[in-house]
Structures are given as C-alpha cells and as structure tokens.
Structure 1
C-alpha cells in the first residue's frame, strides 16, 4: 500500500513528533541523572553532541512512526487480521461472496458484471451459470423462502427470496469454500438495498458458518457496504473495515472462527483510507 499517502496523514506526524520528543527527553533525563551522580563524567554540551542527539531522536521517531503493513495478531483468541490490497480471489483460504436475498447470478442485466458474485461466475465457474445456480439451489434446498415474486412483478432473474443474512456454502474448488451471504435485499426491479443492521447480522452469520465449515482456514472478505448495497454514503470503506474487524473479533472471542481474516481492499478504494488509523483500531481490539 502507498507509503507516500500515509506520510501525509496527521496521525503519522503526531506519532513522529511524540516519539522524537520522547527520545530527546530520554537523553535529557539520562544526562541529568548521570551528571548528578557522576559529576564531570559527561563531556560538555557542544555542537557535535547536539547534532548526534538530534539525529538519533529523529531517526527513532521515524522508525516508530513509519507506516507498516496493516495487520494485527491476537493471543486470545489466537488469530490475525490483515488488511490486504489486491484481488479477493487470489487470497489463501476460503472466500466470502456478497449476494442478495434472491441469490441472482445473471449478468449483466440483473447482477453488475464488476460485482463480486459476477467475478465468482466468470473466474471460478468459467461463466457456467447453470453450474453455479445448481450449486446454490442445492445449498438452499432446505432454506425458508420469505417471498415469491409474481408475474405481475415482472422481475427478471430468480423469483424467490430468502431471509436477509442467509449464508450458504459452495465448494467449486478442492479444499476451498465460498461462503455466499445475502446481505442485501432485492426488489422486483432488481434493485439491491442494504442497511448497517443487515450487514452486521450477515457478518455474524458468516462467522458462524466459517467456524462450522471452514476447518480454521483463513477467510477473505472484501469491503462491503458500497456497490449494490447502496449505503456507502453512511458506511464508507473506512467504517466498513472497522465493522468487519469488530464483528470478527466479537465472534472469535466466543469461539475461534479462523486462523486469519483477510480484509481485501481494491486499489481504487485504498486511496481513501487512513491506514495508520486502521492499524491503531486493529491494535485496540486486543483484549485489555
């Protein structure tokens, strides 16, 4: 991720200033105590000594404040959270796929071709929509149907809807699971709408499914709330990441979910994020 961007953030300069001044303070205290206990041991303060203290202090401040990969390890529970810039489908382990309550798969007229579920169809199922629909239908066979659209609705695509937050697991690849979660509701005009409450409920269901089916393998999830959910205006990417991480840690404290959670961020979203703030947030989730 872009270090240059992080260097422009107020949090970097605040941490740099605090750490630099703390190093200067350490030298000042050390010199004062030494001079009190062992007079005439220290050399007189001169230009060379002042420059040396300044160089060491600034170097220490930069080292402490320098941006690093955004990730955090936890001892209780034993897990990790990594913020990753890249491709969701190239990550190790199991993958979360956001869908709607109708589990529609038809592109581009029903599902946008740039969406995660469209990428699942194209890249994993090689555009074999019949195979994807069969896998979903099998997984949904015993699930409650909460709504059936009628011919009067004139809804293109699938005609039944399942409860918000429903999670079904499909396995098109060996030893790799895809957790398909209905975190938005689809209406008869194929408009998907989501809420923060619905996303929170869906996340909790994802962690339950990952705990039960995932064998402790890493889980990767994209930033949710934008796109088809249409709630990015009050759940921007920065807040979405915090929401995902918080729900994951709450679930993990109850019972371990996975060895690692990868929150995958697309390149066009990265520029809007404050990585130093996110690192501080992940650190704050450690048990006190």
Structure 2
C-alpha cells in the first residue's frame, strides 16, 4: 500500500464518507426489507440474524467502494474541459505544454542567479541541455514585441517586464509558457505576491488560448519555490487558486482540453486529496 493511499485513509473526510455511505446503504436495505415484509409477511421469519449480518456486510462493502480514493480528476461539460491532479515531475510530461515560472527580468544564468535545483534551473538543464545562449535567444524572440516597463541595476539581466508577461517558446509539438510572476531586487532575490500570481495566471490562460491549440497544459504548484509564498499560499491553497483562476478563464473562452496540475511527490503525499476532489466536484455547473 502506497504512502499516498495510507495518507488518504487516515483523513477524517474518508471515514466521514464511509459512515455516510454505510448509513445510506443500511437505510435503503431497511426500506426494501420493510416493503418485502409488507407484500410477503412471514417469509423472512427466522432469518433476522442472517439478514442483519448481510445488511452490515453489504453496507460496509458499498461504503468502501464509494469512498475508496481514486485518481483526482474531474470532467466538466460547461465549460468542456478536464482538470486532473497528478503526482510526479512536470518536466517528465513529455507531450504536454509546460508552464514555467520566471522573474520579470527573465534571468536565466545558473547557478549565481537562478538556483539549479529550482524548476526553472531544472528546465534549463534538462530541456535546454544547459544551453543558456539558445534559451536567451528564444526568450528574446518571444519578448520582441513586448516593451520593458523598467530597468534595475543588478547582476544579470536588467530589463524589467510587466508582471504577468508570458514568453511563449514554440517547440515542434508543444509550447513552453514562461510566465513572469516574481520580481527580482538588486541582489537578485526573487519575491512574489498573491496579486502577482493571480495576474500571472490570468495572462497565462490568455497565452494558452492563443498558442496551445487545445491539448493538455501541465502546470506546477505555484508560489512554493523562490517566490517565497509557501507560508502565505501553501500547496493545498495554491492548487485551489490555480483551479479557480483556470475555471474563470474557461468561462470566458475556451483555453485548452485539459489542465494537469503536477505536484512533486513529497508535496502530493501531504495533500488532503479527497478535499481537492470535493472542491473539483463543487465547481460543476448546477
């Protein structure tokens, strides 16, 4: 049994579901047994013990089947889109469009400015083979129509673009959406805010609408890395934040076929995944 499954089974929500479904099953069986006794009186005489045992076992089996943790996903009809939550590494999603958070200066130099272990650092190493020159060329081309809004005196890049700017790096079969939602200071310390992330997500969905041509877009849990928002926006809240922003955008216009939120294993195992599934279900159109 996996650690993630054990974590789910320890949640109060799981056992509340068990109790609720079990009581529902007992109620239904009691009603059916009562109707049977009305139409065929006396036929059940002498089997009360067996009937009680069968009722308990049936109710428990039904409750566990209905409550057992399943893949976290939800298909919607209006808008027609799917949202899923998966455990893994976003850079391993080989066929999906990827979302990569960056600072408003679009710095790329590792390791002095961009930490190699960060998602952006791993993106540079694994998907660009550490070739900063090629990445900078692609970023410059993607930003060629954007006008910087400021400049900052610091090591590395000094042009500052508007919060929410998305540099779309076109690949052969997919896109990398590099969205700027953190800001560098003169010491190259990146920080962000709830407002910056919301604005970045809003601009991200607009860019996805224009460039993704449907398909699946994989996004990491935002705000947990160098943007330094983990105390304000923990993983559970960040996931709900992403989902809400995406659903608002989908009700404005079609964004993509599926949003895949990819959560690192250590974070995934600590999530209340049943709560997230309940949240996804609550967003279905009434």
Return the TM-score normalized by structure 2.
0.96
Match 2:30 to one of 16, 19, 28: 28
Q: Which secondary structure does the structure 2 equivalent of 1:240 belong to?
A: helix
Distance, in Å, in 2 between the alignment partners of 1:243 and 1:170 is: 25
Q: Paired residue for 1:128?
A: 131
1:274 CA displacement? 0.2
How far apart in 2 are the matches of 1:106 and 1:6?
40
- Once residues 185 and 127 of structure 1 are traced to their aligned partners in structure 2, the CA distance between those partners, rounded to angstroms, is 23
Unaligned runs of 5+ in 2: none
The residue that corresponds to 1:225 in the other structure is 223
Instruction: Point out 4+ residue stretches in structure 1 off by more than 3 angstroms.
Output: none
Aligned pair partner of 2:140 in 121, 133, 137: 137
Equivalence map 1:109-120=2 (5 Å): 109-120=112-123
Aligned to 1:168: 167
CA distance in 1, matches of 2:21, 2:46: 26
Shift of 1:191: 0.9
Deviations 1:101-120 (A, max 9, x none): 00001111101111121122
Alpha-carbon distance between aligned partners in 1 of 2:72 and 2:129, rounded to the nearest angstrom: 33
SS at match of 1:208: helix
Deviation at 1:200, TM superposition (A): 0.8
Structure 1 residue 168, shift from structure 2 partner: 1.2
Deviation at 1:147, TM superposition (A): 1.6
What SS is found at the alignment partner of 1:229?
coil
Counterpart among 194, 209, 212 of residue 211 in structure 1: 209
- Cα distance in 2 for partners of 1:254, 1:266 equals 30
Question: SS in structure 1 opposite 2:23?
Answer: helix
Tell me if structure 1 keeps the 8 A contact 2:169–2:175. yes
Q: Matched residues in 2 for 1:279 and 1:196: separation? A: 23
Match of 2:40 in 1: 38
Matched residue, 1:50: 52
2:188 paired residue among 179, 187, 190: 190
The answer to which of 175-184 and 89-98 deviates more is 89-98
Instruction: Tell me how far apart the structure 1 counterparts of residues 285 and 200 of structure 2 sit (CA, whole Å).
Output: 24
State how far apart, in whole Å, the 2-side matches of 1:43 and 1:232 are. 63
Can you list the C-alpha shifts for 1:7-53, whole angstroms capped at 9, x where unaligned? Answer: 00000000000000111111111112222233223343432222111
TM (norm. structure 1) is 0.95
Deviation at 1:272, TM superposition (A): 2.0
Q: Secondary structure at the match of 1:211?
A: helix
SS of the counterpart of 1:143?
coil
How far apart, CA to CA, are the structure 2 residues paired with 1:180 and 1:109? 20
Q: Which runs of 5+ in 1 are unaligned?
A: none
| Secondary structure of the structure 1 residue equivalent to 2:16 | helix
Cα distance in 1 for residues equivalent to 2:14 and 2:204 = 34
CA distance in 2, matches of 1:75, 1:209: 23
- Alignment partner, residue 98 of structure 1: 101
Q: CA deviation at 1:234?
A: 1.2
SS in 1 for 2:74: strand
3-state DSSP of counterpart to 1:252: helix
